[in-house]
C-alpha cells in the first residue's frame, strides 16, 4: 500500500491489490481481482471527506496521512470476514502477515513440505471448472470457503523453510483449483525464479484463463514448467469432463500451440477417466506430436510432452467412475499407446528429480493436548482454524469465535498437517 500527503490537504491511499467501485450506499472493494467486499459509505465518511480517485486509489481530505491510513485499514479489517469469491460465490478468507495465521499445517493453503525435494505452495483455493475427476471437489459448486494468501507473506515463510531444507528443491504451486485465478501468479513465478535454492517451478493449469501476455512473461523464467490439463480433443466431451458448458477447447488448443512455439517448458497431462475419455488419449498424443520439438528439449533432456495420469478415487473427491483402472491395467495401456504412437509415456520419480529431504520437526505429536487460539474458519462448514506452535490446525465440529483460546487433542499429524479435536 502506498500513501501520500498532498499539498492540498489531501491524503492519497493507493493499493496494488485493491480496486474500488462506487455503489449506491457502499464502495465495493475488490481484492486480488476476484474477491469482493463492501464498505458502507457512512463509515468511510466517518474517517473524513473522501473520493475515489481511480480504480486503485482513494483520497481523504483534511485528514492526516497516518490517521487516514490507520482508520481505513481498520475499516478494511472490520469487513474482511464478509469477503466473497466472485467465481465460486463462497465466503473467502484473506491470509496475510497481520492475520497471524501460520502457513504450515493445512493441506489447503500456505506451504506443504512432505520431507522431499518438492515443496508445495498454495496461494489460493478456487476453480473456474468443476472437473468430474477432481480429487477435492473444487469448482463453482464446491460449497467450501475459499482462502487466498498474501504473496509477500507466502514468500517470507517459504524463505524460512528453504533455509532449513538447505538443498535445491522444486517449488510446485499446487493449489486446490486453478492457480491462475491468483492475481499475483505471474509475479509469484518471477519471484521464485530469483531464489537460489529453487531449481524448478511447476504448476498445473486448465489453461482457460492464461493469456499470451502471461506466457510471454513466464517464458523468461527458465525454471518454470506448466503441466496442462487436456482431457479430450472433442468439444462436447471436454465440456462434459470439465462440467462447464463454457469450456473453450479451441482457445486451450490455441494457447498450447502458442506455448509450444515459445521457450516455456510444458507437459500435457490428461487424466485417464474410464468411460469418459478412453478414445481420446490417442488423439491427444497425436496432437502433441504435431507440436514443434525444440532443440533445447533434446539438449536439456526434458521430460516427454505427454504425461497421462490415472484417475484415483479420493475420500474428498468426485467419483465419476465406479471401478477405476487398476495400476496393472493402466501401465499396460501406457505400454500399448507407447508402441502405437512411438512415444515415451511411462515416467518415474527419478525423471522428476524427487528425493528424500530433511524432516521438519513437529511442535507437537498425536494425542498431545495443547492450548490454541481460533484464528479463522476452515474450508468446510463447522470447521475452524486454530494456531499454536507456529502451525495452523484444522478443528472440525467447532464454532468460530475470533481469538478464543481452546484446548485441543491432536488426532492427526502427517508431514506437519494437523487436525485437532476440541477437549
CATH of the domain at 125: 3.20.20.70
**359 part of a folded domain:** no
Q: E strand or H helix at 104, and its extent?
A: none
**364 part of a folded domain:** no
Residues 67 and 164 in one domain: no
Q: What is the pLDDT of residue 349?
A: 62
* Mean pLDDT over the full length of the chain: 94
* Residue 294's pLDDT band (cuts 50, 70, 90): low
Residues 33 and 113 in one domain: no
Residues 212 and 177 in one domain: yes
Which of the two residues, 216 and 5, has the higher pLDDT score?
216
Q: Give yes or no for residue 5 having a pLDDT over 90.
A: no
Residues 50 and 141 in one domain: no
In this structure, the number of other CB atoms found within 10 A of the CB of residue 140 comes to 17
- From 352, 377, 403, give the residue that closes a domain: 352
% of the chain surpassing 70 pLDDT: 94
**65 part of a folded domain:** yes
Q: Give yes or no for residue 293 having a pLDDT over 60.
A: yes
Residues 346 and 376 in one domain: no
**363 part of a folded domain:** no
- CA-based nearest residue to 361, from 131, 104, 179, 130: 104
**Strand order through the sheet with 18-22:** 18-22, 26-31, 35-40, 84-85
Q: What is the pLDDT of residue 143?
A: 87
Residues 65 and 132 in one domain: no
In degrees rounded to 5, what are phi and psi of residue 133? -100, 5
CATH of the domain at 401: 2.40.50.140
Long-range CB pairs of 248-257 (<8 Å, 24+ gap) are 248/208, 251/208, 252/206, 252/207, 252/208, 252/228, 253/287, 255/207, 255/210, 255/212, 255/215, 256/207, 256/228, 256/230, 256/291, 257/291
* Residue 355's pLDDT band (cuts 50, 70, 90): confident
Residues 154 and 74 in one domain: no
Q: What is the pLDDT of residue 140?
A: 82
Q: Give yes or no for residue 326 having a pLDDT over 70.
A: yes
The dihedral built from the CA positions of residue 299, 342, 226 and 167, taken in this order, carries a sign that is negative
pLDDT tens digits along 358-415: 999 999 999 999 999 999 999 999 999 999 999 999 999 999 999 999 999 999 999 9
* Residue 1's pLDDT band (cuts 50, 70, 90): low
Residues 279 and 249 in one domain: yes
**341 part of a folded domain:** yes
Residues 281 and 183 in one domain: yes
Give the total number of structural domains in the chain: 3
Grid cell for residue 194 = 530469483
- From 32, 59, 82, give the residue that closes a domain: 82
Residue 209 to residue 247: CA distance in whole angstroms = 11
Q: Which domain holds residue 6?
A: 2-82
**361 part of a folded domain:** no
Residues 195 and 135 in one domain: yes
**362 part of a folded domain:** no
pLDDT tens digits along 98-140: 999 999 999 999 999 999 999 999 999 999 999 999 999 999 8
Q: Give yes or no for residue 301 having a pLDDT over 60.
A: no
CATH of the domain at 7: 3.90.930
Residue 174 to residue 192: CA distance in whole angstroms = 14
Residues 399 and 268 in one domain: no
* Residue 300's pLDDT band (cuts 50, 70, 90): low
Q: Give yes or no for residue 304 having a pLDDT over 80.
A: no
Residues 320 and 181 in one domain: yes
Across the range 230-241, mean pLDDT stands at 98
Which of the two residues, 85 and 294, has the higher pLDDT score?
85
Residue 252 to residue 258: CA distance in whole angstroms = 10
- CA-based nearest residue to 175, from 152, 150, 193, 148: 148
**87 part of a folded domain:** no
Bridge-partner residues for 392, per DSSP? 387
- From 62, 82, 102, give the residue that closes a domain: 82
Q: What is the pLDDT of residue 299?
A: 59
Amino acid at each position: 500500500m502506498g500513501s501520500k500527503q498532498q499539498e492540498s490537504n489531501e491524503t492519497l491511499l493507493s493499493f496494488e491489490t485493491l480496486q474500488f467501485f462506487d455503489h449506491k450506499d457502499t464502495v465495493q472493494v475488490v481484492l486480488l481481482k476476484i474477491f469482493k467486499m463492501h464498505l458502507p459509505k457512512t463509515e468511510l465518511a466517518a474517517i473524513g471527506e473522501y473520493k475515489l480517485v481511480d480504480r486503485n486509489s482513494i483520497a481523504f481530505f483534511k485528514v492526516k496521512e497516518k490517521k487516514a491510513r490507520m482508520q481505513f485499514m481498520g475499516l478494511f479489517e472490520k469487513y474482511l470476514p464478509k469477503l466473497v469469491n466472485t467465481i465460486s460465490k463462497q465466503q473467502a478468507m484473506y491470509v496475510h502477515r497481520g492475520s497471524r495465521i501460520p502457513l504450515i499445517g493445512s493441506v489447503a493453503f500456505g506451504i506443504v513440505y512432505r520431507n522431499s525435494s518438492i515443496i508445495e505452495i498454495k496461494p489460493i483455493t478456487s476453480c473456474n471448472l468443476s472437473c468430474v475427476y477432481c480429487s477435492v471437489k473444487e469448482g463453482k459448486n464446491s460449497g467450501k470457503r475459499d482462502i487466498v494468501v498474501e504473496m509477500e507473506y507466502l514468500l517470507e515463510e517459504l524463505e524460512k523453510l528453504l533455509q532449513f531444507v538447505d538443498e535445491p528443491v522444486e517449488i510446485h504451486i499446487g493449489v486446490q483449483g486453478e492457480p491462475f485465478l491468483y492475481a499475483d501468479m505471474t509475479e509469484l513465478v518471477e519471484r521464485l525464479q530469483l531464489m537460489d535454492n529453487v531449481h524448478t517451478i511447476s504448476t498445473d493449469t486448465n489453461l482457460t484463463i492464461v493469456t499470451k501476455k502471461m506466457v510471454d512473461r513466464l517464458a523468461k523464467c527458465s525454471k518454470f514448467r506448466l503441466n496442462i490439463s487436456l482431457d479430450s480433443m472433442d468439444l462436447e466431451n471436454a465440456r462434459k469432463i470439465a462440467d462447464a458448458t463454457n469450456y473453450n477447447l479451441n482457445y486451450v488448443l490455441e494457447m498450447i500451440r502458442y506455448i509450444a512455439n515459445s521457450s516455456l517448458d510444458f507437459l500435457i497431462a490428461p487424466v485417464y477417466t474410464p468411460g469418459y475419455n478412453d478414445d481420446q488419449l490417442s488423439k491427444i498424443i497425436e496432437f502433441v506430436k504435431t507440436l514443434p520439438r525444440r532443440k533445447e528439449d533434446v539438449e536439456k533432456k526434458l521430460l516427454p510432452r505427454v504425461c497421462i495420469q490415472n484417475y484415483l478415487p479420493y475420500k474428498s473427491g468426485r467419483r465419476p467412475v465406479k471401478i477405476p483402472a487398476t495400476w496393472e491395467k493402466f501401465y499396460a495401456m501406457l505400454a500399448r499407446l507407447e508402441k502405437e504412437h512411438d512415444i515415451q509415456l511411462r515416467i518415474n520419480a527419478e525423471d522428476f528429480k524427487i528425493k528424500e529431504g530433511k524432516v521438519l520437526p513437529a511442535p507437537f505429536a498425536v494425542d498431545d493436548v495443547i492450548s490454541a487460539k481460533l484464528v479463522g474458519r476452515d474450508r468446510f462448514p463447522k470447521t475452524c482454524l486454530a494456531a499454536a506452535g507456529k502451525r495452523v490446525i484444522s478443528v472440525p465440529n467447532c464454532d468460530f469465535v475470533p481469538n478464543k483460546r481452546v484446548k485441543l487433542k491432536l488426532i492427526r499429524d502427517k508431514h506437519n498437517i494437523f487436525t485437532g479435536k476440541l477437549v
